[in-house]
Amino acid sequence: DIVMTQSPDSLAVSLGERATINCKSSQNILFSTNNKNCLTWYQHKAGQSPKVIIYWASTRESGVPDRFSGSGSGTNFTLTISSLQAEDVAVYYCQQYHSSPPTFGGGTKVEIK
Amino acid sequence: QGKLQESGPRLIKPSETLSLTCTVSDDSIRSYYWSWVRQPPGKRLEWLGYIYHTGRSKYNPSLNSRVTISVDPSKNQFSLQLTSLTAADTAVYWCAKTLIPGTAGWFDPWGQGILVTVSS
């Protein structure tokens, strides 16, 4: 199985400041058919279900604010929240869908400093 | 985009079989794949398996053949059965629509989740 490693485990950022979450895969997750990376980022708020914010490593889901961006390729990926808002408090997970079984990172808890 | 709702028991005894159902509304189960995902307390999310409306399914090998997913297109539902339960199966269980470009997929949207506790 592909192992997904996220860092840090938790992150406290001041309102309006940048938050950066890293995700590393144990294998290359580039999809040869479209030359895109098979990585999704989810936002999981307390009491709600996880929601996709980024797929194909950098494609923002419809309706997701543009302060969220995804980058990276191969085995190293980053989710950036450019200006943290109060409603962004959540746990964020990366997930690879290059190989079965699909696997998730351990999550990064984002809080307000 | 559709809505999903899990239903089933919230407390179940060790060694018994868990049966959960996911009802899909505002979408057709005849499109896309449909998965079950779970998260034990303090642990990471784990994909259990998926099914297509034809009955084609795939499971996570980590479950050692304890999992079966079935589908009822006439009711727009799919179901999970997990046998030989232990305390380690205590988790929040979600159903989710699954988009698969290759051999695995991502999950969007998810149901609200159901906490299942395995305890005598």
Overall size of chain B counted in residues: 120
* Cβ-Cβ contacts under 8 Å, B61 against chain A: 101
Rounded CA-CA distance B2/B24 in Å is 7
CA angle B6, A91, A103 (to 5 degrees): 70
Compute the mean pLDDT over every residue in chain A, rounded to the nearest whole number.
Answer: 96
Whether residue B69 is predicted with pLDDT greater than 90 in this model: the reply is yes
Q: What percent of chain B has pLDDT above 90? A: 88
Give residue A79's pLDDT.
Answer: 98
| Furthest CA-CA distance within chain A | 42
Interface contact A104, partner B, CB < 8 A: yes
Interface contact B113, partner A, CB < 8 A: yes
**C-beta separation of B36 from B69 below 8 A:** yes
Residue A4 confidence class, pLDDT cut points 50, 70, 90:
very high
Whether residue A14 is predicted with pLDDT greater than 80 in this model: the reply is yes
| Bridge partners (DSSP) listed for residue B95 | B36
Query: Are A96 and B104 a contacting pair at CB < 8 A?
Result: yes
Query: Are A49 and B110 a contacting pair at CB < 8 A?
Result: yes
Residue in chain A lying closest to B60 (CA) = A101
DSSP-based three-state secondary structure for A104: strand
Give residue B64's pLDDT.
Answer: 81
Query: Are A100 and B107 a contacting pair at CB < 8 A?
Result: no
Mean pLDDT value across residues B75-82: 97
Interface contact B100, partner A, CB < 8 A: yes
Rounded CA-CA distance A39/A54 in Å is 8
| Furthest CA-CA distance within chain B | 42
Peptide bond into B40 cis (omega under 30): no
Rounded CA-CA distance A9/B116 in Å is 26
* Cβ-Cβ contacts under 8 Å, A38 against chain B: 101-102, 104
Mean pLDDT value across residues A59-75: 96
Residue A104 backbone dihedrals phi, psi, to 5 degrees: -115, 155
Q: Residue B119, exposed/middle/buried by CB under 10 A (0-12, 13-18, 19+)?
A: exposed
Whether residue A101 is predicted with pLDDT greater than 90 in this model: the reply is yes
Mean pLDDT value across residues B10-15: 97
DSSP-based three-state secondary structure for B62: helix
Mean pLDDT value across residues A38-52: 96
